[in-house]
Amino acid sequence: MAWERKLMRTVRVRNRQARGVLAQLLAVISDADGNVGSVAMLNETSQSVTRDLSIYAEDEAHVERILAAMRANEGTTVLQVRDEVLELHQKGKIAIRSRFPIDSLSTLRRVYTPGVADVCRKISVDPSLAWTYTSISHMVAIVTDGTAVLGLGDIGPLAGMPVMEGKAMLMETLVGLSGVPILLNTKDPEEIISAVKAIAPTFAAIQLEDISAPRCFEIEEKLQAALDIPVMHDDQHGTAVVAMAALLVAARETKRDLGRAVIGQVGLGAAGNAIGKMLMRLTGNPLYGTDLAREAVARFEGAGGRGATLDEILAECDIVIATTGAAGLIKPEKVRKGQIILALSNPNAEIDPDAALAAGAAFAADGKSVNNVLGFPGIFRGAVDARAPRITHEMLVAAAETIAAMTPPGELAPNPLEKNVHRAVARSVAETAFKQGLARAEYVAYVED
């Protein structure tokens, strides 16, 4: 059964100490179309064995079917069912911490009054000193209105907060930036622009997140024109960077010349439009593009693309990239032998990579392996370190080429938790800013761990 494993539960069971009980338990889980992840033994006696099993299911109803099968297994008692994802999110995933312990009056007087007044006076005379003497130099606003969260759509800013926290965690963990979620309770583009402009002095950069198209285009464009710090809508350009990196890897693995390949983009929302424009600038050739919204196709054609239908793209293109959010949109029988297929929608791809490969694709990947986490941390780190006023096309291309170069042979993408990958991306972005004459930092040194 080919379903996306959306839900994980940790089930604590006590099995009778007898041969075959665990094996039979695993079999009944499999018979219920469940998947088992980790199995951890917690306690063993002469009578029983207690274990935690991670099970994966399609939805809540599927979880209940699996649990019913486990409870019916002879010799098994289900003791507890835990949702570790929810447990991990309790009280949020991020917090603001002091960098220095305040453990004496002397320290208090230096970090707060009266010592802090001297720092304030210096910054009032020379505002550029705020970059040196405050946290602004590593603060990034992660701004959303909650209108395009994951594949969930318009669920509102509050429901989008767990995603914003996750972005902040990744920024801090991977590149040492302090991401601050900003939830805006408005969908009006002008109100969003005004709000971000008003809070911008706090931050070194602005990451726009999960804002629906076509509003996101106007919001990003006007904010970048108004502010002297980088503004990037991650759903557009972060996705475009990792998609381009994956395509460079695919071309390398299949020995395909991208300059001669016919490329089609299925879905022309925030991500698809940015991917298409980036690849057209890279290859110098128009891309085929399709979308259910006629205005999206018109926008793409205005940028140099060529409108097409889904069937035309699948029939004529050597490379197909899909960002529609429509699971199962690409049928295996439509895949042509030797095609490269990047079905990037999350949580469910337009076609499962294994199904695409079985149908004859030379290379296939989905949004789990081609994920924005490979792009945005290093892109922002490099732009902030160089003190660039904006993130350019050339900086994005440098990031994509670096990600592709860091991908081991035979792999789809680098390990997203390898910090050396993000440092390399940051370095390439900063170096490009210097080459373009955009850097306002005198020098950026990246030291390997």
Q: Which amino acid, one-letter code, is at 31?
A: D
CB-CB contact of 16 with 68 (8 Å): no
In the set 112, 133, 435, 446, the catalytic residue is 112
Distance between CA atoms of residues 90 and 97, nearest Å: 18
Taking the CA atoms of residue 230, residue 233, residue 238 and residue 243 in that order, the dihedral angle to the nearest 10 degrees is -140
CB-CB contact of 272 with 323 (8 Å): yes
Length of the chain: 449
Distance between CA atoms of residues 16 and 76, nearest Å: 7
Distance between CA atoms of residues 201 and 184, nearest Å: 17
In the set 56, 133, 167, 222, the catalytic residue is 167
Q: Which amino acid, one-letter code, is at 226?
A: A
Dig out the tokens for 355 from the structure: 């199904």
Dig out the tokens for 94 from the structure: 């991020």
Backbone angles phi, psi at 193, to 5 degrees: -60, -45
Residue linked to tokens 């941390």: 377
Nearest-10 crossing angle of helices 419-435, 393-405: 150
CB-CB contact of 84 with 47 (8 Å): no
* Catalytic (active site) residue 56: no
Kindly list the catalytic residues. Answer: 112, 167
